[in-house]
Amino acid sequence: MQLRPHHGMCFQFYEGRGYSAEFTDHMGGVIRALSERPDTPVRLTLSTDVVCERCPNNVEGICQSAEKVMRYDEAVLNACHLKDGDELPYADFSARVKERILDAGLRRRICGDCEWDAICAKHRREP
């Protein structure tokens, strides 16, 4: 399964809200599938992934917020000591994100300008 690195953070705080009903249903399904099969291999990618399939910012395979999400993706890769194209079990990737970004207090530095920041901050009890 192709996965943008920053989605590893989004999955940790997802509460069923998003751009549209179609998007949230799809994202919820991806999260459920990975939760049920945490050994699923994910290939990290700096382009559109399985989550992006139903995103309204995905226009013919190109993210309309490409500059911002690329910054998020690269920061996640750096913090987790990974690179574009790396493949690992979802559980391992998720654990790295939690340990090296979330528990280390780096989330807001990486994606604090995201429109969904308030949801993540609420769950992490961040200022």
**Is residue 7 over pLDDT 60?**
yes
pLDDT tens-digit series, residues 12-64: 998 887 888 888 899 999 999 999 999 999 999 999 889 988 888 888 888 88
Q: Which of 12, 13, 5, 1 is nearest to 76 (CA)?
A: 5
Q: Assign 127 a pLDDT band (cuts: 50, 70, 90).
A: very low
pLDDT tens-digit series, residues 59-109: 888 888 889 999 999 999 999 999 999 999 999 999 999 999 999 999 999
* Backbone angles phi and psi of 43, in degrees to 5: -105, 120
Alpha helices in the chain (DSSP H): 7-13, 21-36, 66-80, 90-97, 107-111, 117-124
pTM, two decimal places: 0.91
As a 3-state breakdown, the chain gives helix, strand, coil percent values, each rounded to 5, of 55, 10, 35
